A and B are shown apart, each in its own frame.
Chain A
């Protein structure tokens, strides 16, 4: 399936990309994270277990076991700091 993946704030800067299309053969948000971690470098570092980041699918916060669907909009971002 194809995913549209967005990155925000510090993670966008660390990864050097704001948005990309990803061909995805896994099932869950956790599988996608593993695929991104496998890129190494900042990806492995920032998305490692225990690091603070949030995942949203179709603009709603989800947990790692969330099942992804073809065409999903996935976003990965740091804990929010508005207000």
Chain B
């Protein structure tokens, strides 16, 4: 298990290679990379800055991964989330999940992302032509997390 919160860019290929390194029992690796878009809510976005809650962020991500491990038979999980100022096209978040079969890897990868969006203490501020604005939480993200049919909050 690898959980990192960092300003630096990450490389999906390197992270997947690191998971596979030295082992032949893995049958599937599913991965997700979230990118900074150039458009949100009808406005062009020139850049965004990601703020987080140091300490709680790492604990929240570890709790997400623990929950995924409790639900599926996983062999390894990597979660990397960037902080600081990012430009359109920059990668923001990476989740990679290794398991013996694809079903667990696909499901756990999506689960971790859905819960990360609603549980991990990160906040985005966008720079637009009209000035800076904080991104508002989306009801669709709550709905995506809720469909996993779990208590809505992992940490209470």
Q: Which of A1-44 contact B (CB under 8 A)?
A: 6, 8-10
Interface string of A49-66 (1 = CB under 8 A from B): 000100010011111000
Interfacial chain B residues near A59, Cβ < 8 Å: 53, 55-56, 59
Give bound CA distance, A83 to B56, whole Å: 16
Sorting the interface of chain A by its residue count into under 10, 10 to 19, 20 to 34 or 35 or more gives 10 to 19
Sorting the interface of chain B by its residue count into under 10, 10 to 19, 20 to 34 or 35 or more gives 20 to 34
Nearest Cβ on chain B to A9's Cβ, whole angstroms: 4
B20 on interface, CB distance cutoff 8 Å: no
Q: Which of B6-14, B69-77, B97-105, B110-118 contacts A (4 or more CB under 8 A)?
A: B110-118
Which A residues form the contact surface with B (CB < 8 A)? 6, 8-10, 52, 56, 59-63, 75, 77-83
What 9 A-B pairs are tightest by C-beta distance, nearest first? A82-B122, A79-B137, A9-B123, A59-B56, A83-B117, A10-B134, A60-B155, A81-B135, A61-B155
